[in-house]
Structure 1
Amino acid sequence: VGSDWGGPIGPEVASKRSDRFTGLVIGNTWAWPPETGMIKFFSRLMSSAPLHRLIKKRNFFISPAMKRTIDRDISDREFQHYVEVAPTPDHRQGIAEFPKQIRAAEPFLAVLEQRVLVEFADTPMLSIRGTKDPVFRGILPGWQQRFPNAQVVRLDSAGHYLQEDESEAIAATIAETFGG
């Protein structure tokens, strides 16, 4: 399952061991060079010095950004799991680097796009979309163009963190699609 930053990461890993995968599940994400001004704008904005500092010093991606894009009330205990992934500024260096890599990784993403198209052309794909996602709004046509046979499931009550908003619906859809 690849969602958010897992869009480029998941297919990259899967393409290196495609014999181990019988299907792919893609959430709100992309896996090709950024095509929209919004994604490039996000990359420039979030990698700017002030926001880079906010990400590192104040864990900006988690608080407040994450809380604002989860559509349900998340408990403090659940939220703490996300905070504890990167509890200090040093732990957040990689997270702070992600936005810059959207643009810097364009050559890698172009190669990845071609490899994924070849490796997974005949692999069953499930594309699960949180329709309230402000980040990847409008990205679904790119997936449909590249993988016209993918099954698309839209979750109207889910936002960017669709796994938090609709975890049970997602699990049921995956089980129904791929068995299990």
Structure 2
Amino acid sequence: MQFLRTDDAQFDGLSDYAFSPNYLEVDDTEGGVLRVHFIDEGPRDAAPVLLMHGEPTWSYLYRHMIPPLVEAGHRVIAPDLIGFGRSDKPTALEDYTYQRHVDWMVSAVQQLDLQGITLFAQDWGGLIGLRLVAAMPDRFARLVVGNTALPTGDQPMNKAFESWREYALTVPDFNAGRIIYGGTTTKLTEAEVAAYNAPFPDDRYQAGARKFPALVPSTPDDPAAPANRAAWKVLSGLSLPVLTTFGADDKIMAGVEKVFQNQMPGAAGQDHVILPDAGHFLQEDVGPELARRIAEFIEKTC
């Protein structure tokens, strides 16, 4: 598998992102390996909080959440998915499949031997992270979901998503920072927009970011649909505590929190919240508040 590795100089001097890089390798499924970057902060003997990003972000998204979670005594791990951030970036669109992303992150969790995990998952972090929970339920202690879903293709996608999928694959200039800017309520600075574009020096690095929307199961016969249906069967039988934290200004995901509240037994009686000042990228809009709610949820459900 051919891939590119973003030069470290692209990540120099990013505001509020002074975390030390960590790396591990995963099987690329074609006889080679790919390097996965992850942040690993806080005491190594503490139960981990796993922060999963989505499209087209990277672990920079969690820069305002990691310090307060560490201050609360937690070990915090935030990986960059393959194709994003400081992780390797396969160059061909066909290199990216839903199953490969799940397998790569399963390998990462197993290599780090994470146990008692609190998962926070947003956007594609949920599509992948929820599959991790279903594949390795004994490793997870609780789940926090924000502006995400686990679609099976049995419900049609709305026109906004169909337009986004087409846009991602065809727009001549895929500007990740500007896309994230449009999904926030507080709005990013120019430096923050540039930080989200830092992993992608040119279009050769953007195959994963362009392909991700097309990997969302949108029809019942999608290749990922059976695996997601199987995952829901596991998830709906788990008793682990579940908290939903959705942004009020994320109109595309509006109402999806009810799916988790209705289908996962551990969601009963939890302090679910719709955050009034948050858009799709709620980590940008209300990161410290979100970190506080995660820490309180952990304390409540220990």
TM-score range, shorter chain: 0.7 to 0.9
Instruction: Measure how far apart 1:80 and its partner are.
Output: 2.2
Instruction: Measure how far apart 1:97 and its partner are.
Output: 1.5
1:59 maps to which of 160, 170, 174: 174
Cα pair distance change 1:173/1:130, threshold 3 Å: same
Unaligned runs of 5+ in 1: none
Residues 20-44 of structure 1: per-residue CA shift (max 9 Å, x gap): 221111100101314554x353453
Cα pair distance change 1:154/1:27, threshold 3 Å: same
Instruction: Measure how far apart 1:154 and its partner are.
Output: 1.5
Residues 119-175 of structure 1: per-residue CA shift (max 9 Å, x gap): xx2001111110110221121221222125423121111010001000011000011
When the two structures are superposed, what TM-score results if normalisation uses the length of structure 1? 0.83
Q: Which moved more, 1:141-150 or 1:65-74?
A: 141-150
Match for residue 138 of structure 2? 19
> What is the aligned-residue identity percentage?
25
Match for residue 47 of structure 1? 165
Instruction: Measure how far apart 1:17 and its partner are.
Output: 2.8
Match for residue 161 of structure 1? 281
Cα pair distance change 1:16/1:86, threshold 3 Å: farther
The 5 A counterparts of 1:19-168 are: 19-34=138-153, 36-37=155-156, 39-48=157-166, 51-54=168-171, 57-60=172-175, 62-102=176-216, 103=218, 104=222, 105-118=224-237, 121-147=238-264, 149-150=266-267, 151=270, 152-168=272-288
Q: Is contact 1:24–1:125 with CA below 8 Å preserved after alignment?
A: yes
Q: Aligned with 1:126: secondary structure?
A: strand
Q: Is contact 2:177–2:193 with CA below 8 Å preserved after alignment?
A: no
Q: Aligned with 1:169: secondary structure?
A: helix
1:173 maps to which of 277, 289, 293: 293
Instruction: Measure how far apart 1:88 and its partner are.
Output: 2.4
Q: Compare the two structures and name the one with the higher helix fraction.
A: 1
Q: Is contact 2:143–2:243 with CA below 8 Å preserved after alignment?
A: yes
Q: Which moved more, 1:127-136 or 1:164-173?
A: 127-136
Distance 1:112 1:42 in 2: 26
Aligned length: 173
Would you identify which runs of 4 or more consecutive aligned residues in structure 1 move more than 6 Å? none
Which structure has the higher relative contact order (CA within 8 Å, separation 6+)? 1
Distance 1:95 1:15 in 2: 25
When the two structures are superposed, what TM-score results if normalisation uses the length of structure 2? 0.52
Q: Is contact 2:186–2:285 with CA below 8 Å preserved after alignment?
A: yes
Q: Is contact 1:32–1:113 with CA below 8 Å preserved after alignment?
A: no
Distance 1:156 1:36 in 2: 27
**Rg (Cα) greater in structure:** 2
Q: Aligned with 1:58: secondary structure?
A: coil
- The one-letter amino acid of 1:162's match is L
- The one-letter amino acid of 1:46's match is W
Q: Is contact 2:177–2:192 with CA below 8 Å preserved after alignment?
A: no
Q: Is contact 1:128–1:155 with CA below 8 Å preserved after alignment?
A: yes
Q: Which moved more, 1:144-153 or 1:20-29?
A: 144-153
